[in-house]
Amino acid sequence: MSKRALITGITGQDGSYLAEFLLARDYEVHGLVRRIALHDPERHLSRLVHIRDRLVLHAGSLESSASLHQVVDLVRPDECYHLAAHSFVNTSFEDDLPTLGADINGTHYLLAALNERAPACRFYFAGTSEMFGHADESPQRETSRFLPRSTYGINKLAGYHLTRNYRERFGMHASSGVLYNHESPRRGHEFVTRRIAAGVAQILAGRQERLALGNLDARRDWGHARDYVRAMWLMLQQETPDDYVVATGESHTVREFAQLAFAVAGLDHREHVFVDPELCRRAEDQPLVGDPRKARERLGWHHQVGFAQLVREMVTAECDALGLTLPLATPAAAQVVEQGEE
Ligand code: GDP
């Protein structure tokens, strides 16, 4: 009999890749979505169009304990992937505070419902490198100190501790992944990688000349979302639950991303990118870079998509969407790609 998985946040980037991944392994895939998503699928289910008829979507709310009990009763999942959360690293701390309680309660309600109605269900919590925030060591590993600096990071850290408590107190098979930035053509438009990839396509199409960015020296440990959902699944296949850092272990600057993205389209980023002070965030902390050694040793996980391949895939997808053909490997692109390849 095929296993049943329940995914919260199935409409997002990670949710959609995870759903594909599980369907390919013969899972029966259920998703918890807001009622509005079912009423306005074009807008809310755009990442699931190609697999929509193979999924079972349930309208429900993480803010309602009763609704979670109902869905858990109905689905009786073998595995639950809790990916849903508000994410506003960009906005101000004060503005985000109202979302804090909602997300923490949602995680707690879900864990409680599973523990009560489906205690054998294996649980994955989507933690984030933002939990390290003002990290005092680099790269960060599972034992590094958590010093979150955003509402998002604090919220995720609470979820991480809730997950650990359900594991330790109730013996639930509950694990957290501490995931570093992971991107793809399905990334939200507000993130810098998607902004750059989309900007390159717009410029190539002659629809705009220039692209405004913030801090070009900011660094991130960027991986591909498709690789990261595989790590989530691997955590739930282990005999014992645990927490894992999931990262590539290498970081690149926003400038490097832009340089490569423009080069893929045969363009020179220096002719198009400018820094808009409005987009620059206040001084950023020590760059977050993860040490994925534990995931490699225990899960056998390693990222497969390197930086250059990620950039190429994102730019190509944006160009395809506009019906543009990328120039065949230009000398500039070849040179940058060589530098970017691990
Ligand atoms: P996150 O902040 O790690 O969740 O991801 P983002 O993609 O939003 O930002 C990654 C880094 O890119 C941050 O250090 C930003 O300061 C930097 N950055 C530079 N220019 C931009 C921009 O135009 N938009 C965004 N979102 N980030 C930018």
The pLDDT value given to residue 342: 42
Q: What are the backbone dihedrals phi and psi of residue 67, each rounded to the nearest 5 degrees, phi first?
A: -70, -35
DSSP state of 148: -
Alpha-carbon distance of 296 to 6, in angstroms, equals: 26
Homologous superfamily of 189-220+253-288+305-341: UDP-galactose 4-epimerase, domain 1 (3.90.25.10)
Alpha-carbon distance of 3 to 22, in angstroms, equals: 9
Q: Are 30 and 70 in contact (CB under 8 A)?
A: no
4-179: CATH topology: Rossmann fold (3.40.50)
Residue positions annotated with a catalytic role? 128, 130, 152
Alpha-carbon distance of 98 to 151, in angstroms, equals: 10
Closest-lying ligand 1 atom to the alpha carbon of residue 280: 16
Kindly give the distance from the C-alpha atom of residue 296 to the centroid of ligand 1, in angstroms, as a whole number: 27
Q: Are 235 and 168 in contact (CB under 8 A)?
A: no
Kindly give the distance from the C-alpha atom of residue 126 to the centroid of ligand 1, in angstroms, as a whole number: 20
The pLDDT value given to residue 225: 98
Q: Which of 91, 149, 191 to mutate to test the pocket of ligand 1 (most atoms within 8 A of CB)?
A: 191
In the chain, where the domains are located? 4-179, 189-220+253-288+305-341
Q: Are 83 and 159 in contact (CB under 8 A)?
A: no
The DSSP H or E segment spanning 112 is: helix 93-117
DSSP state of 147: B
Q: Residues lining ligand 1, CB < 6 A?
A: 89, 181, 190-193, 195, 213-215, 218, 220, 254, 279, 281, 284
Give 10-residue mean pLDDT values along the chain (342 residues): 96 98 98 93 94 97 95 98 80 66 92 98 97 91 94 92 98 98 96 98 96 95 98 98 98 97 96 95 78 98 98 97 81 54 44
Between strands 219-220 and 252-253, the pairing is antiparallel
Closest-lying ligand 1 atom to the alpha carbon of residue 194: 7
Kindly give the distance from the C-alpha atom of residue 119 to the centroid of ligand 1, in angstroms, as a whole number: 39
Overall pTM surpassing 0.85 (yes/no): yes
Kindly give the distance from the C-alpha atom of residue 294 to the centroid of ligand 1, in angstroms, as a whole number: 27
